[in-house]
Amino acid sequence: MGLFDGTSLEQPVTCKHCGKPLDGDGRCTCPRTAEGELSLPTDIHPRVRREKRRGKWCTVVTELSSTAEGGPTDLKALLKELRTSLGTGGGIAENDLVIQGDHRDAIVAKLKKMGYAAKAAGG
**For the domain 41-120, what is the CATH superfamily, name and number?**
SUI1-like domain (3.30.780.10)
Helix, strand, coil content of the chain in percent (nearest 5): 20, 30, 50
- pTM, rounded to two decimals: 0.67
From first to last of its 123 residues, the chain has per-residue pLDDT tens of: 566 666 776 667 778 777 777 776 667 777 676 677 777 777 788 999 999 999 999 999 998 865 444 445 678 888 999 999 999 999 999 888 999 999 999 999 999 998 888 999 986
Residue 39 belongs to what H/E stretch?
Answer: none
Query: Can you give the residue ranges of every domain in the chain?
Result: 1-30, 41-120
Do 101 and 59 contact (CB within 8 A), yes or no?
yes
d(CA 3, CA 14): 10
